[in-house]
Amino acid sequence: MEKVYGLIGFPVEHSLSPLMHNDAFVRLGIPARYHLFSVEPEQVGAAIAGVRALGIAGVNVTIPHKPAVIPFLDEVDEQARRIGAVNTIVNDNGRLVGYNTDGPGYVKALEEEMDVSLDDRRILVIGAGGGARGIYFSLLSTAAERIDIANRTVEKAERLVREGDARRSAYFSLAEAEKRLAEYDIIINTTSVGMHPHVEAQPLSLERLRPGGIVSDIIYNPMETKWLNEAKARGARVQNGVGMLVYQGALAFEKWTGQWPDVNRMKQLVIEALR
């Protein structure tokens, strides 16, 4: 029987996940379909009960339900628990297990797309919200030398560092981080600053950027933010958010099927859809 997978979130209409997963199912000859499920916040528990009752094989979870699904699951992977957010649920014979592939997807995309080892690197994460949490905790599992956090609301960066690893991480205001920019090999924007439709905005001044570093943004709409274009003009290698989107999907796909999809094909589909 065809297996059912899907995405629960609110809203979900513009998600590119069905495109990636359904294509990979077809190409790998897996009898399965990925659907969008728009779930209002007060229906999250009922939706998870529905996953059980209907025998849905697995779901992704997106904004705003990533933290909310946790109490309804049978088991939550340690890293997802630490992040406080689940984006992938595996239905293992009626046992619902939650994972987070966002942070690991980001790190894998960074390593693979930029062909870089994170060993001994000095990394600056801009932002301390939901997106930053997954990325920060995943970066802590690498051999990076420093993973500092800069945020508009400094207290939020401080809290994240306290939860993480205060020996490897410092927290800064955005202004302070701008002054120290030359210290970093990799600079990552996890905020929504520069996202459509506010495309003129930039998360941090790149005036003191050291040429030859990596500047990475989790935004994929637009694929070329003003900030990334400026980084490129200042001699950095740049990466947009398409890689994270694709790799979080590929890692979820692997958890569900045991197979690694063709990520380049997934990426191509996403890029075509975003153009």
Query: Contact positions toward ligand ATR, by CB under 6 A?
Result: 127-132, 151-153, 156, 190-193
**CA–CA gap between residue 235 and residue 130 (Å, rounded):** 30
**CA–CA gap between residue 206 and residue 192 (Å, rounded):** 17
Q: Are strands 186-189 and 171-172 parallel, antiparallel or unpaired?
A: unpaired
The minimum distance between CB 32 and ligand ATR, in angstroms, equals 29
Long-range contacts of 195-199 (CB under 8 A, 24+ apart): 195/219, 195/221, 195/225, 196/221, 196/222, 199/225, 199/226
The minimum distance between CB 25 and ligand ATR, in angstroms, equals 29
Our CB check for ligand ATR shows the closer of 9 and 127 to be 127
**CA–CA gap between residue 135 and residue 129 (Å, rounded):** 10
The minimum distance between CB 125 and ligand ATR, in angstroms, equals 10
Per the annotation, the verdict on 226 as an active-site residue is no
Strand partners, 146: 122
The minimum distance between CB 135 and ligand ATR, in angstroms, equals 9
Q: Are strands 88-92 and 58-61 parallel, antiparallel or unpaired?
A: antiparallel
Our CB check for ligand ATR shows the closer of 95 and 179 to be 179
**Catalytic hit among 66, 156, 179, 232:** 66
Our CB check for ligand ATR shows the closer of 130 and 222 to be 130
The values of phi and psi at residue 233, to 5°, are: -60, -25
Our CB check for ligand ATR shows the closer of 100 and 191 to be 191
Question: What is the set of active-site residues?
Answer: 66
